Amino acid sequence: QYLAYYDLRSPRYLSESNVKEFLRYLVKNMSLSRARLNQAREALLFLYEKVLKKPLKRTEIVPKDS
């Protein structure tokens, strides 16, 4: 979903603000539970930290509740 949201752009070229924007989108448009939102957030953290070796600041990507 993350890649589709950004028209299949490589996550290497997407920033923390893009991750944060996507998580806000999930909160507003997908009506996810807090557990599902945390799962999505942790998956993105894993992608950037372990796969891309480009760690994100955890505090920067926590979306505010809407």
Better-scored residue on pLDDT, 58 or 59: 58
CA atoms of 66 and 4, how far apart (whole Å): 23
Ordered by where they begin, the domains of the chain are 2-59 (1.10.150.130)
Chain segment 10-51, per-residue pLDDT in tens: 999 998 889 999 998 988 888 888 888 889 999 999 999 999
| 60, pLDDT greater than 70 | no
Taking each helix axis from N to C terminus, what angle separates 16-29 and 34-46, rounded to the nearest 10 degrees? 160
